[in-house]
Chains A and B, each alone.
Chain A
Amino acid sequence: MARKIILATHGNFAQGIRTSLELICGKSTNVEVVCAYMREDFDLAQTVEIIIAENRKNELVVITDIFGGSVNNEFFKYVEEPNVYLISGLNLSLLIELYTQLEITDSLENLIIQAIKTSQETIKYCNLLKAKDEEEEF
């Protein structure tokens, strides 16, 4: 049983963020992308069905761009499957954390919960951040 990350987004976002991931973490072999609606004849339901069918024996961490979007909703039909883990709100820090620990974690569920928590904390309005006055000393 292998572990895979599926990035599924509206348009080329999935492809693009994989490029960013590889720039930071090196070439990936276990990250696949679905760039939805880029062709006239694109069939989302069929695309997702094929991915699920081809990966019966693998654990799939699916990350979609937006909660409630059609791509997420299509994968949502499969969340009862024991090998499918669905996350919405794709962003780079979330992806890096999941990717770097995917193979080493005992529990995908715990990894996902932790990665979501830390990546939520990285969304900041930076103008409001100032270096704290106190400096650390030895």
Chain B
Amino acid sequence: MIKLVRVDHRLLHGQVAFSWTQSLGVDCILIANDDVPQNDIRKTTIKLAKPAGVKLVIKTIEDSISALQSGVTDKYKLFIVVESVADAYKLAKSCPEIKHINLGGMKVREGTRNISKAVNITPGEESLVKELIAEGVDIEIRQVPNDKKVAALDAF
């Protein structure tokens, strides 16, 4: 089952990986990203951040969707990490099982506005988030599990 989808522009990094994995009780992390499978340095750093005792799978967005739809992931307690709202949107649209999305880190880019300490969002991303919320997906802002959970709608 999918425990959480996290949007983090740094993808998997040490302390975050550790804290979320522990708090969610997951046994598998899926990095869904179109760049990492062909970028050896990014791949290496992600693998180094992997907590012990957890499986780590790296796939493109398209392959991730195929895997999620095929049922091979059903036996895992899965934590999915993507780098952008657009990627989270693609996954959520293709996999109705995705009910929770966490906005953890989105850096400052052209046209973004700051809605939380580490979260900067473009108007386009904001409308994608609103669309998913309207479809019943719970979208929250939180860096680490101990932080207070803020509903994305309240931050807009």
> Is the pairing of A and B real?
yes
Listed in ascending order, the chain A residues whose CB lies under 8 Å from chain B are 24, 26, 96, 129-132, 135-138
Chain B nearest Cβ from A91, distance in angstroms? 13
B77 contacts A by Cβ under 8 Å: no
In the A-B complex, list the 10 residue pairs whose CB atoms are closest, starting with the nearest: A131-B44, A138-B72, A131-B43, A136-B57, A138-B73, A131-B47, A136-B55, A136-B56, A131-B40, A24-B15
* A contact patch SS: loop
Query: Which of A26, A131, A132, A138 is within 8 Å of B57, CB to CB?
Result: A138
Chain A nearest Cβ from B145, distance in angstroms? 11
Interface size on B, residues (CB 8 A): 16
List the B residue with the shortest CB-CB distance to A24: B15
* B contact patch SS: mixed
In the complex, 20 of the A-B residue pairs with CB atoms within 8 angstroms, ordered by the A residue number, are A26-B146, A96-B15, A129-B44, A129-B48, A130-B40, A130-B44, A131-B40, A131-B43, A131-B44, A131-B47, A135-B58, A136-B55, A136-B56, A136-B57, A136-B58, A137-B57, A138-B67, A138-B72, A138-B73, A138-B76
Q: Give chain B residues whose Cβ lies under 8 Å from the Cβ of A96.
A: 15
Q: Measured between alpha carbons, how far is A136 from B30 in the docked complex, in Å?
A: 10
The answer to whether residues A132 and B47 also contact, given A24-B15, A137-B57, A138-B67 and a CB cut-off of 8 A, is yes
List the A residue with the shortest CB-CB distance to B70: A138
B15, B55, B57 — most chain A CB neighbours (10 Å): B15
List the A residue with the shortest CB-CB distance to B75: A138
Q: Measured between alpha carbons, how far is A130 from B48 in the docked complex, in Å?
A: 10
Q: Measured between alpha carbons, how far is A96 from B144 in the docked complex, in Å?
A: 14
Q: What 7 new A-B contacts, CB under 8 Å, besides A96-B15, A136-B58?
A: A24-B15, A129-B44, A130-B44, A135-B57, A136-B55, A138-B28, A138-B72
